[in-house]
Amino acid sequence: MTPNELRRQLEYFQDLGIKDLYKRTAPVIEAPTARPMDIELPGLAPANDTLPLISTDIGDCTRCRLCKTRNKIVFGDGNPESKLVFVGEGPGADEDAQGIPFVGRAGQLLTQMIENTAAKEGIALKRADVYICNVVKCRPPENRNPEPDEMEICGQFLFRQLSVINPKAICALGSTAAKALLGGKDGVTKLRGNWHKWKDIPLLVTYHPSYLLRAYNQAAKREAWEDLKKVLHFVYD
């Protein structure tokens, strides 16, 4: 492995939030001359990566505890060549049953937000024109927040999805998605309204639709509408 290849791999794992790498040990074999041992690291995403290949690599995933209670893996949905990707937290009960992200009440609200805002702003856009996925692909029990190790394990696949699609912008829905993509600890209140970056891709943070379903969050609904207008005009104007 060349120094350049090693550097690229280390940067990749740093982007995923992996801070510690361990050298794999091997049995000592006596030989006339000793040879330095290579550091064995998992490979980068394939050079010609695709969404079907990522889905195949996920397979019938048993990499973390979420596999024990899920019904279906929820990979992603929408236009694989979209200029805009929405990233949520994780599947809920309806998504777990159908294998499609954002199809329950929160998903119906997200669809209305996308299509109604686009129509009011004179942008010809339907939900099917964007791509939607989640930080974790399996439903956390009782819709709890994903644990850090679950997000780390699934993060490699989200990283590959976003890299393959390479959209003009990403919209992170809620604090979990924002923290997973930006690596910080700040929540939506601090992050929304301003542009951030995932790799070199502009990223805007807004509220998760499930938060907006609560009757007392009227101010948040107005703010989410402004956020959505901002990202739609940035991408499609």
Flag whether pLDDT at 166 surpasses 60.
yes
What's the pTM value of the predicted model, to 2 decimals? 0.82
3-state secondary structure of 54: helix
Helices 148-165, 51-58: crossing angle, 10 deg rounding: 160
Q: What is the set of domains in the chain, with CATH numbers?
A: 74-237 (3.40.470.10)
Rounded Cα–Cα distance for residues 159 and 169 (Å): 14
78 backbone φψ class: left, alpha, beta (φ>0; ψ -120 to 50): left
Does 42 score more than 50 pLDDT?
A: no
Residues pairing with 203 in the sheet: 170, 196
| Predicted pLDDT of residue 17 | 55
**1: exposed, middle or buried (Cβ count in 10 Å: 0-12, 13-18, 19+):** exposed
Give pLDDT, residue 218.
85
Distances 149 to 143, 161, 181 between C-alpha atoms, Å: 16, 19, 15
Bridge partners of 182?
Answer: none
The helix (run of H) or strand (run of E) holding residue 221 is: helix 218-236
218-232 residue pLDDT tens: 899 999 999 999 999
Q: What is the pLDDT of residues 51-91, one digit of tens each?
A: 999 999 999 999 999 999 999 999 999 999 999 999 999 99
Phi, psi of 176, deg, nearest 5: -60, -45
CA–CA gap between residue 235 and residue 233 (Å, rounded): 5
How far lies 65's CA from each of 135, 177, 179, 207, 233, in Å? 15, 20, 21, 27, 40
